[in-house]
Amino acid sequence: MIDRVKKYLKEVQSFSSTDLKEIESFRINYAGKKGILNDLFLVFREIPINEKKEFGKELNKLKDAVNDKVKHLQSQSKMSSVNIKIDDPSRTAFSLETGNRHPLSIVKNRIIDIFTQIGFSISEGPEIEDDWHNFTALNLPKHHPARDMQDTFFIQTNPDILLRTHTSSVQVRHMENNQPPIRTISPGRVFRNEAISSRSHCIFHQIEGLYIAKDVSFADLKQTLKYFTEALFGNSKIRLRPSYFPFTEPSAEVDIYWGLDTETDYRITKGTGWLEIMGCGMVDPNVLKNCDIDPQEYSGFAFGMGIERITMLLYQVSDIRLFFENDIRFLKQFKSTI
Ligand code: DAH
């Protein structure tokens, strides 16, 4: 079996073409849904455990070789097609490269669109925050252990000033300045002192949601989330798992049912079919009090999600760092409808 993989590797390495159509059929043959790679990954699942290591290594080598080859040939072929004789005065001008809306902006705008259609306003707050708005008012007093859930960048000369770790700080600012009924979403950039890897980055983006009025219940929260996931993913099969956030009680994490149809589904859902997309809950009465809203009169729900995470799911992007490199070849693959 392993010899077959090695034979494919040789074939891939020796393949060459400048014809885009030929390159595409090469790509489909190896990396398409029903392609050789997917077949081999299925075989991988079945082989005895002691052979998995070596087989997996060769298989990954083959996968990388296919991707590299396709990228290389595609860019070569594009370069040769713009190789027009420069001294020909009748040639048409080269077209100017235009930019492209960033995938994170595309998804942010879609989410904003979905919520503004049901009456949510948009609110924003500062990225450099104080301790009160980022933590204390959100029911996270000094030395509360849950502060460790988010590794914080502090401003060295003043421990009271920090880079906000979440957009929940905007909830507080909005409630301080507005009376219920409140329906708002707050998109923005947040910062955490974390190592950069394919799954995490120290700068990322969130959207926070807040709804405060009379008699708001958990059922309202659930219905709003169902509407949202249906509109964004075309799939409203969600589940709420009990969780903990200091600013909500009760709190939950929202999973969307992704399915287990393909090898990729299996990998990204760790074999469960479910994917976590956000945190949410009923706003804790302490948070309302901290913002001068009477919890006897009003109740509400809040939720918060990472835009990178949602974008990675929607477009099957496997490395968060791609969003920050701004390689135009990556960005050009995303088309905006809004
Ligand atoms: N602020 C949380 C975080 O960054 C996300 C979150 C969870 C926001 C629950 C909420 C909420 O408003 O109710 O991890």
Residue 81 has a pLDDT of 63
Distance CA 18, CA 73 (A): 7
Are residues 69 and 194 both part of a single domain?
A: no
Q: Please check whether residue 301 lies inside any domain of the structure.
A: yes
When pLDDT is averaged across residues 10-39 and rounded to a whole number, the result is 92
Residue 84 has a pLDDT of 57
Residue 278 Cα to ligand 1 midpoint, Å, equals: 7
The total number of structural domains that make up the chain: 2
Shortest CA distance to 302 belongs to which of 174, 204, 198, 194? 174
Residue 338 has a pLDDT of 58
Residue 87 Cα to ligand 1 midpoint, Å, equals: 61
Residue 337 has a pLDDT of 66
Cis peptide before 242 (omega within 30 of 0): no
Are residues 58 and 150 both part of a single domain?
A: no
The answer, yes or no, to whether any atom of ligand 1 lies below 6 A from the CB of 125, is no
Strand 121-122 vs strand 182-191: parallel, antiparallel, or unpaired?
parallel
Are residues 119 and 60 both part of a single domain?
A: no
Chain segment 130-179, per-residue pLDDT in tens: 999 999 999 999 888 888 777 899 988 898 999 999 999 999 999 999 99
Are residues 165 and 116 both part of a single domain?
A: yes
Residue 134 has a pLDDT of 97
Residue 89 has a pLDDT of 75
pLDDT grade for 28, boundaries at 50, 70 and 90: very high
Residue 281 has a pLDDT of 98
Strand 203-213 vs strand 121-122: parallel, antiparallel, or unpaired?
unpaired
Backbone angles phi, psi at 215, to 5 degrees: 60, 35
Residue 300 has a pLDDT of 98
Are residues 166 and 286 both part of a single domain?
A: yes
Residue 225 has a pLDDT of 97
The answer, yes or no, to whether any atom of ligand 1 lies below 6 A from the CB of 303, is yes
pLDDT grade for 94, boundaries at 50, 70 and 90: confident
Q: Please check whether residue 95 lies inside any domain of the structure.
A: no
Chain segment 65-91, per-residue pLDDT in tens: 999 999 999 888 877 666 556 667 777
Q: Please check whether residue 98 lies inside any domain of the structure.
A: no
Chain segment 35-45, per-residue pLDDT in tens: 999 999 999 98
Are residues 301 and 177 both part of a single domain?
A: yes
Chain segment 318-329, per-residue pLDDT in tens: 899 999 998 988
When pLDDT is averaged across residues 230-251 and rounded to a whole number, the result is 94
Ligand 1, atom 6: nearest CA belongs to which residue?
Answer: 304
Residue 321 has a pLDDT of 94
CB 44, CB 59: distance < 8 Å: yes
Q: Please check whether residue 93 lies inside any domain of the structure.
A: no
Q: How far is CA 228 from CA 185, 222, 283, in A?
A: 13, 10, 19
Chain segment 109-140, per-residue pLDDT in tens: 999 999 999 999 999 999 999 999 999 999 99
Q: Which atom of ligand 1 is nearest to the CA of 304?
A: 8
Distance CA 318, CA 90 (A): 45
Are residues 191 and 302 both part of a single domain?
A: yes
Residue 95 has a pLDDT of 77
Which mutation among 152, 167, 245 tests ligand 1's pocket best, with the greatest number of atoms within 8 A of CB?
Answer: 245
Residue 269 has a pLDDT of 86
90-112: b or e for each residue (b if 16 or more CB lie within 10 Å)? eeeeeeeeeebebbbbbbbebbb
Are residues 261 and 165 both part of a single domain?
A: yes
| Alpha-carbon radius of gyration of the chain | 25
Tokens encoding 97:
């490269």
Residue 267 Cα to ligand 1 midpoint, Å, equals: 26
| Domain end call among 86, 118, 142 | 86
| Domain end call among 28, 51, 86 | 86
CB 244, CB 252: distance < 8 Å: no
Q: Please check whether residue 91 lies inside any domain of the structure.
A: no
Q: Please check whether residue 92 lies inside any domain of the structure.
A: no
Chain segment 260-317, per-residue pLDDT in tens: 988 888 888 889 999 999 999 999 999 999 999 999 999 999 999 999 999 999 998 9
Are residues 203 and 298 both part of a single domain?
A: yes
| Mean pLDDT, rounded, of the chain | 92
Of 149 and 100, the one with more pLDDT: 100
| Domain end call among 57, 86, 115 | 86
Are residues 186 and 296 both part of a single domain?
A: yes
Residue 153 has a pLDDT of 93
CATH number, position 133:
3.30.930.10
Ligand 1, atom 8: nearest CA belongs to which residue?
Answer: 304
Distance CA 235, CA 239 (A): 12
Are residues 127 and 35 both part of a single domain?
A: no
Shortest CA distance to 120 belongs to which of 302, 312, 328, 316? 302
Residue 182 burial (10 A CB sphere; 0-12, 13-18, 19+): buried
Distance CA 303, CA 310 (A): 14
pLDDT higher than threshold 70 for residue 15: yes
Q: How far is CA 331 from CA 273, 311, 319, in A?
A: 28, 13, 14
Q: How far is CA 107 from CA 23, 207, 209, 308, in A?
A: 31, 11, 16, 9
When pLDDT is averaged across residues 190-215 and rounded to a whole number, the result is 94
Geometric angle at alpha carbon 118, from 274 and 335, rounded to 5°: 65
Residue 200 Cα to ligand 1 midpoint, Å, equals: 17
Residue 302 Cα to ligand 1 midpoint, Å, equals: 8
Q: Which atom of ligand 1 is nearest to the CA of 305?
A: 5
Q: Please check whether residue 168 lies inside any domain of the structure.
A: yes
Residue 65 has a pLDDT of 94
When pLDDT is averaged across residues 241-247 and rounded to a whole number, the result is 97
CB 277, CB 310: distance < 8 Å: yes
Geometric angle at alpha carbon 56, from 52 and 60, rounded to 5°: 175
When pLDDT is averaged across residues 218-241 and rounded to a whole number, the result is 94
Tokens encoding 34:
């029903």
Residue 63: domain span:
2-86
Are residues 264 and 198 both part of a single domain?
A: yes
Q: Please check whether residue 94 lies inside any domain of the structure.
A: no
